Chains A and B, each alone.
Chain A
Amino acid sequence: MIDTIFHVVLVLAMPPLLLGVIGKTKAAFAGRVGAPFLQPYYDMARLMKKGIVLSDSTTWIFRAGPVVTLAATLFAALLVPLGKHPAPVSFEGDMILFAYLFALGRFFTTTAALDTASSFEGMGAAREVSFSCLAEPTLFFALITLTRLSGTMSLTPMLQHVTLPVWMATGASLLLLLAGLFVVLLAENCRIPFDDPNTHLELTMIHEVMVLDHSGPYFSCVLYGAALKLYLLGALFVNIALPFASGNPYVDWVVFAAGMLLLAVAIGVVESVMARLRLIRVPQLLVAALILTAFSLVLVVR
């Protein structure tokens, strides 16, 4: 019970903090002070207080987009175990639901973008869909590898199966898998080198350009949903990358939270030391990630 409370509190409260940490890391590399760690929270709170502007040409789909996406992501949040603690909802085959809850969210984000009939947003939707077609198989290869290792199709037992002895036995495979997952993590959350979350240049955007027309609370939902998605994929990554369990649940919670913050720093470092890819090069990197995870599967089934 106490674990479930911790789970819900962390999942609801912590995601924007990761964005704050990424921002601070990037600022440090650029020699600036940077916005406060809590700035993403302030932004979302400010947006909640604002009014909404709706284009006459949009329908209910446009309004449903952010809501459905956020709801799908929130439900997915109940399926992912955080650290060595079981997820509140867990059943055989939940990994497929997990993957397709994201797909559902994306479907509504892209249709909401198309609903505006803006040439920018259509372009963004086309980009988002074509790139996620390439990112999704990578996620599945990673999950299938874990299924093969653990013998289960449920996220909680699957991820708790990854312990030090498993790492000792199949370290090479897990490393390849982590590399692939990290690429998916960056691509799905529109981080550099795939997308630049800070740019104001519509023509270069992928994710941001789809939500240009959302305002006020809707936009706040979009931002929060995006932070949550980063958090969940990050949790998946951290669960595999940190195979330690102390036995004390409170220590494990702290280790997990610290792991997430470290991941945020790592993303900030990647964003600081490299430039964005040219858009036509993005599929190549995604395919490379796909090949990495495919190899990791080959290593465990051979």
Chain B
Amino acid sequence: MSPAMVFTQNGGVLSRREIPQHAPERFAQALLTALTGGWRVVSYFGMQEEDGVRLFCLLSFKSHATIGVMSTLVTGKSFYSLVPQAPQLHLFEREIAEQFYLNLEGHPWPKPVRFAPPLGSLPGETPEPPPTIGVMDFYRVEGQEVHEVAVGPVHAGIIEPGHFRFQCFGEEVMHLEISLGYQHRGVERMMQGRPGERMRKLMETVAGDTSIGHGTAYAMVVEALSETRVPARAQVVRGIALELERLANHTGDLGAIAGDVGYLPTASFCGRIRGDFLNMTAGICGSRFGRDLVLPGGVRFDLAADGAGQLSDRIKVAREEVQNAVDLLWDTPSVLARLEGAGVVSEQTAIELGLVGPAARASGLNRDIRRDHPFGIYSMSQIPVETAKSGDVYARTLVRWLEIEKSLDFIEEQLSQLPGVSVANPVREVAGDHLAVALTEGWRGEICHVAVTDARGHFQRYKVTDPSFHNWTGLALALRGGQISDFPLCNKSFNLSYCGFDL
């Protein structure tokens, strides 16, 4: 019998011929066996082929820093859901069914994900147009005093669109269902074709606040496919930029959480300090969000000697300021009383849903791509992983703060020992008929990019998995049994991306 899967590492590349293609039954069995054995799904997607839809599943095994790949071919209209045994697949399967116009059998909640037209379909099938966005049967609780609250897709304040449907008993939320897709742009369709500058820019805008995270993942995919080495100095600059992105967003989140509980001082200070971190990124590359900094093969802008010194000084000032602002938060009992016990996600739930990033770490899951599947500078220089136990808003706030401290330390350490001189190597031709995978730890969590090339070296399929894709269900479950008035605070503590999910 052929091996269940073929192994590679983060930033690795495989020839398409090496990837085992199982019969659907064997694929399901191998997948479930792997999941019980401690593997975790990082990406699971379909790709149109001549004789059907090929499903690729990529799994991560933390302790060996290994990524396993396997595939199967769906030729019939239906494929069987594994969700009853493996809940973490639930959204991946719904996505595959929607993108390739398949029937999902045995899924407990088979609904559209983005209400988008399919990417492809079985040979001979003509897909119908997708249903009107947001129009579906929501889960309903019936009863005398049960009431339904619908929020969105248009919200107060400047945030992205999404629809939230609460089933409430008085102030208590019995169930929350989240319906997204309003930001769908067809990113994965646009990513089919010849790799190039346009695609790099597109990847930087998958989620506008995670340009470095997604940009680095794209660069790693192209580097893997073209066997391009990245100079050490460029890796350091990428690492610094990624941590600056984390600092800016985590600081902004702490301020927003403080603002949601009505605690003004931290809200105002953190709002400003977030701007300072963004300006540091602008100091490196001219863009506050790090656009066009990361290129396949390296980085576009170097940190000059005096630039590194200046950045180091600004980091020192910002460290003191953010420390003061956040200490106010920890020193105010009314704030802590508000944060503790709100929106609890248990460790068991987090494991079953496959949560990632700070939300997972706040529920006690020790997972961080920077350590589990180290890439770039993180394979040379370790960054400690911070976790918390309680899984509530307080834990998510605390984990963010601890990560801010660690990121500041990391940047200062890297700035003191910048290696080499060269910051970019030329990129060679992208290899045809290969599959490349790149994982990065953006500030929201694990970002996974997978590219499958055709014989000409064009992307036949480019799969982006934003951390929000894993975590939205976590938010829905955090509210279960909670207070509806706690929703905005819980939402802020997750701070997920709509466009990163909607693609």
Using a CB–CB distance below 8 Å, which chain A residues touch chain B?
Answer: 26, 29-32, 119-120, 122-123, 192-193, 196, 198-204, 271-281
Interface residues of B in 247-306 (CB under 8 A from A): 258, 260-265, 267-269, 272
Q: Kindly state the separation between the CA atoms of A193 and B335 in the bound complex, as whole angstroms.
A: 11
Using a CB–CB distance below 8 Å, which chain B residues touch chain A?
Answer: 147-151, 156-157, 171, 258, 260-265, 267-269, 272, 332, 334-335, 337-338, 342, 483-489
A272 proximity list for chain B (CB < 8 A): 264-265
Q: Are B334 and A203 in contact (CB under 8 A)?
A: no
Q: Kindly state the separation between the CA atoms of A29 and B266 in the bound complex, as whole angstroms.
A: 10
Q: Are B156 and A275 in contact (CB under 8 A)?
A: no
Q: Are B149 and A279 in contact (CB under 8 A)?
A: no
Q: Are B156 and A202 in contact (CB under 8 A)?
A: yes
Residue of A nearest to B157 (CB): A200
Cβ contact of A275, chosen from B268, B338, B486, cutoff 8 A: B338
Q: Are B264 and A278 in contact (CB under 8 A)?
A: no
A199 proximity list for chain B (CB < 8 A): 260, 262
Q: Kindly state the separation between the CA atoms of A29 and B342 in the bound complex, as whole angstroms.
A: 27
Residue of B nearest to A268 (CB): B264
Q: Are B335 and A275 in contact (CB under 8 A)?
A: yes
Main secondary structure of the interface of B (DSSP, over half): helix
A122 proximity list for chain B (CB < 8 A): 147
Given the known A-B contacts A201-B488, A203-B151, are A276 and B265 also in contact in the complex, defined by CB atoms under 8 Å? no
Q: Kindly state the separation between the CA atoms of A29 and B264 in the bound complex, as whole angstroms.
A: 8
Q: Are A192 and B262 in contact (CB under 8 A)?
A: yes
Given the known A-B contacts A119-B150, A196-B262, A274-B332, are A201 and B338 also in contact in the complex, defined by CB atoms under 8 Å? no
Given contacts A119-B148, A278-B337, 15 further A-B contacts (CB under 8 A): A26-B264, A30-B267, A31-B269, A120-B149, A192-B262, A193-B262, A199-B260, A271-B262, A271-B264, A274-B334, A276-B338, A277-B338, A278-B338, A278-B483, A278-B486
Q: Kindly state the separation between the CA atoms of A192 and B488 in the bound complex, as whole angstroms.
A: 17
Residue of A nearest to B489 (CB): A204
B335 proximity list for chain A (CB < 8 A): 274-275
Q: Which of A199, A271, A278, A280 has the most chain B CB atoms inside 10 A of its CB?
A: A278
B171 proximity list for chain A (CB < 8 A): 279-280
Cβ of A22 to closest chain B Cβ, rounded Å: 12
Q: Are B264 and A30 in contact (CB under 8 A)?
A: yes
Q: Kindly state the separation between the CA atoms of A32 and B272 in the bound complex, as whole angstroms.
A: 11
Q: Kindly state the separation between the CA atoms of A119 and B156 in the bound complex, as whole angstroms.
A: 15
Cβ of B160 to closest chain A Cβ, rounded Å: 15
Cβ contact of A193, chosen from B147, B156, B267, B334, cutoff 8 A: B334
Cβ of A64 to closest chain B Cβ, rounded Å: 25
A30 proximity list for chain B (CB < 8 A): 264-265, 267-269
Given the known A-B contacts A202-B156, A203-B151, A271-B262, are A31 and B268 also in contact in the complex, defined by CB atoms under 8 Å? yes
Q: Kindly state the separation between the CA atoms of A18 and B466 in the bound complex, as whole angstroms.
A: 47
Cβ of B279 to closest chain A Cβ, rounded Å: 18
Q: Are B149 and A275 in contact (CB under 8 A)?
A: no
A196 proximity list for chain B (CB < 8 A): 262
Q: Are B265 and A29 in contact (CB under 8 A)?
A: yes
Cβ of A160 to closest chain B Cβ, rounded Å: 37
Q: Are A275 and B334 in contact (CB under 8 A)?
A: yes
Q: Are A119 and B147 in contact (CB under 8 A)?
A: yes
A193 proximity list for chain B (CB < 8 A): 262, 334
B332 proximity list for chain A (CB < 8 A): 273-275
Q: Kindly state the separation between the CA atoms of A54 and B36 in the bound complex, as whole angstroms.
A: 58
Q: Are A275 and B262 in contact (CB under 8 A)?
A: yes
Q: Are A203 and B265 in contact (CB under 8 A)?
A: no
Residue of A nearest to B147 (CB): A119
B489 proximity list for chain A (CB < 8 A): 204
Cβ of A94 to closest chain B Cβ, rounded Å: 36
Residue of B nearest to A205 (CB): B485
Q: Kindly state the separation between the CA atoms of A32 and B171 in the bound complex, as whole angstroms.
A: 35
B264 proximity list for chain A (CB < 8 A): 26, 29-30, 271-272
The 3 closest A-B pairs by CB, nearest first: A30-B268, A201-B488, A276-B262
Cβ of B320 to closest chain A Cβ, rounded Å: 15
Q: Which of B156, B264, B337, B488 has the most chain A CB atoms inside 10 A of its CB?
A: B264
Residue of A nearest to B341 (CB): A278
Cβ of A184 to closest chain B Cβ, rounded Å: 19
Q: Are A119 and B157 in contact (CB under 8 A)?
A: no
Q: Kindly state the separation between the CA atoms of A120 and B488 in the bound complex, as whole angstroms.
A: 14
Q: Kindly state the separation between the CA atoms of A273 and B484 in the bound complex, as whole angstroms.
A: 25
B342 proximity list for chain A (CB < 8 A): 278
Cβ of A16 to closest chain B Cβ, rounded Å: 21
Q: Are B483 and A274 in contact (CB under 8 A)?
A: no
B484 proximity list for chain A (CB < 8 A): 123, 203
Cβ of B342 to closest chain A Cβ, rounded Å: 7
A204 proximity list for chain B (CB < 8 A): 260, 485, 487-489
Q: Kindly state the separation between the CA atoms of A280 and B171 in the bound complex, as whole angstroms.
A: 9
B263 proximity list for chain A (CB < 8 A): 274-275
A280 proximity list for chain B (CB < 8 A): 171, 483
Cβ of B436 to closest chain A Cβ, rounded Å: 42
Cβ of A269 to closest chain B Cβ, rounded Å: 11
B272 proximity list for chain A (CB < 8 A): 31
Q: Are A203 and B262 in contact (CB under 8 A)?
A: no
Cβ of B271 to closest chain A Cβ, rounded Å: 9
Cβ contact of A203, chosen from B157, B269, B338, B488, cutoff 8 A: B488
Residue of B nearest to A199 (CB): B262
B485 proximity list for chain A (CB < 8 A): 203-204, 278-279
Q: Are A277 and B334 in contact (CB under 8 A)?
A: yes
8 A-B residue pairings within 8 Å (CB atoms): A30-B264, A123-B484, A193-B334, A201-B488, A204-B485, A275-B258, A276-B334, A277-B334
Cβ of A131 to closest chain B Cβ, rounded Å: 12
Residue of A nearest to B267 (CB): A30
Cβ contact of B260, chosen from A32, A192, A201, A277, cutoff 8 A: A201
B260 proximity list for chain A (CB < 8 A): 199, 201, 204
B265 proximity list for chain A (CB < 8 A): 29-31, 272
Given the known A-B contacts A120-B149, A203-B484, are A32 and B337 also in contact in the complex, defined by CB atoms under 8 Å? no
A202 proximity list for chain B (CB < 8 A): 151, 156
Q: Kindly state the separation between the CA atoms of A281 and B340 in the bound complex, as whole angstroms.
A: 13
Cβ of B331 to closest chain A Cβ, rounded Å: 10
Cβ of B335 to closest chain A Cβ, rounded Å: 4
Q: Kindly state the separation between the CA atoms of A201 and B334 in the bound complex, as whole angstroms.
A: 19
Q: Kindly state the separation between the CA atoms of A29 and B265 in the bound complex, as whole angstroms.
A: 6
B486 proximity list for chain A (CB < 8 A): 278-279
Q: Are A123 and B338 in contact (CB under 8 A)?
A: no
Q: Kindly state the separation between the CA atoms of A204 and B149 in the bound complex, as whole angstroms.
A: 13
Q: Kindly state the separation between the CA atoms of A29 and B328 in the bound complex, as whole angstroms.
A: 12
A192 proximity list for chain B (CB < 8 A): 262
Residue of A nearest to B484 (CB): A203
Cβ of A277 to closest chain B Cβ, rounded Å: 7
Q: Kindly state the separation between the CA atoms of A57 and B272 in the bound complex, as whole angstroms.
A: 44
A201 proximity list for chain B (CB < 8 A): 156-157, 260, 488
